[in-house]
Structure 1
């Protein structure tokens, strides 16, 4: 019998409708799983391979998949189907790719294994704790949303109840490098309940999480204790970090 999977969803009042009792749900993201954690899970289920060997194989698989996608192949695995995709206008049948107008991206369609697994997930809903919610962050330099950020440059954060307010020392917008300490944004250019424009701190290349700490509550009132929201999407400065890999281990 398949292991029972329970997913918690937080219910939020739907601000775009006037109908009483209308709520929207957001899955509660409880962490990030990388190739190292996947390898640990495989080992826990039973494997004759070493942890570093499994992690190396996963990393090699990632590299071969992304190379195949970049070559124009359709890559299908248990998670889904991945294909390269082009966006932006092309003028004329001999138009060349213009990086200022066009972008090479990747599209994703959930695979059968994932679809079948999601059908059997048990959803448990909970009333959401009222507080700040970040929906997106856009790099003002590149226009990228929820991906790459530019160090020491402006960015726009959208959400609800995200106005930075209060006199507690912990208040602010923070970027925390994986395995590092939090760095506070030095300047708030615009500070509104649904949108912030911030000046990014000086950040080294790497992977970061975004968080907000504020005492702002609904109806422009301050709450007694600061509330924290951790944006579940991993962001990066510089080149996008690899999901796994490393030096090749000795395979026994």
Structure 2
């Protein structure tokens, strides 16, 4: 007899001050992610969990499905794939009944919404609040200057510009402060020298990307900046930008806000 009820899962996260309101007791929930799973990872995990197919067979089947789904999506079909139902739309204004698509103000966009079964299963996930972290430095978005892509690519030796909150690097000498690129695979860190930090403001920054090897990285910021020129926190507060950034082939050129 097949088991249809999903196994109960849980997510753990921290409460972070909501900077969009003036209330001091208003927080948002930030999930603590435990891993970044690629398609290859999922295929290997499926084999470990008893799949009758090999990892290469699963990946090959996935690639075939992905290609078929993409062609159908690009031909104006709605496509059920993975966790979401997907369709294309066009944003921007069309002025007048004879208006045509204008690339200067219109874009083809991807619309994705959770499938009904996923929405139902989300209700069974327990949410655990592990701590409250106020005043964390938070990176909101980054753009690779060389490629012009947002939240996806890194070009070693090129520029990276970003927006954030409390990202100004300030604090005591000898502390591990600054921006760090953390290799997603082996967890090694590459610090950005302060001489490569071109702009260092509370809500924006720019830096020269170090000579990173091909791979996937997470950008982290560590500072004692407390929100004003005179306020330096006792402890270093470090936070990670949740989107993986890729050196070399791979990575998405779209902003998370477009999905």
TM-score relative to the length of structure 2: 0.74
Q: Which moved more, 1:156-165 or 1:172-181?
A: 172-181
Q: Distance in 2 between matches of 1:212 and 1:105?
A: 31
Contact 2:160-2:208 at 8 Å conserved across structures: yes
Q: Distance in 1 between matches of 2:82 and 2:144?
A: 33
Q: CA deviation at 1:202?
A: 5.2
Relative to structure 1, the CA distance from residue 90 to residue 202 in structure 2 (aligned partners, 3 Å threshold; closer, same or farther) is farther
Number of residues of Structure 1 aligned to a counterpart in Structure 2: 241
Q: Where in structure 1 are there 5+ consecutive unaligned residues?
A: 243-252
Aligned-residue Cα RMSD (Å) equals: 3.3
Q: CA deviation at 1:53?
A: 2.0
Q: Which moved more, 1:107-116 or 1:198-207?
A: 198-207
1:83 and 2:92 are equivalent in the alignment? no
Contact 2:222-2:237 at 8 Å conserved across structures: yes
1:1-252 alignment runs, 5 A limit: 1-88=5-92, 93=98, 95=100, 98=103, 101-130=105-134, 131-139=136-144, 144-149=149-154, 152-166=157-171, 167-168=173-174, 170-176=176-182, 178-179=184-185, 182-185=189-192, 187-201=196-210, 207-219=216-228, 220-223=230-233, 226-236=236-246, 240-241=250-251
**Matched position secondary structure for 1:128:** strand
Contact 1:79-1:111 at 8 Å conserved across structures: yes
**Matched position secondary structure for 2:133:** coil
- Select the structure with the greater relative contact order (CA < 8 A; seq sep ≥ 6): 1
Contact 2:138-2:166 at 8 Å conserved across structures: yes
Q: CA deviation at 1:132?
A: 2.1
Q: Where in structure 2 are there 5+ consecutive unaligned residues?
A: 253-259
Relative to structure 1, the CA distance from residue 107 to residue 170 in structure 2 (aligned partners, 3 Å threshold; closer, same or farther) is same
Contact 1:138-1:146 at 8 Å conserved across structures: yes
TM-score relative to the length of structure 1: 0.76
* Residue deviations 1:99-138 (CA, integer Å, cap 9, x gap): x655443221111122111111111123333432222223
* Residue deviations 1:194-213 (CA, integer Å, cap 9, x gap): 32233334566654322223
Relative to structure 1, the CA distance from residue 178 to residue 22 in structure 2 (aligned partners, 3 Å threshold; closer, same or farther) is closer
Contact 1:10-1:28 at 8 Å conserved across structures: yes
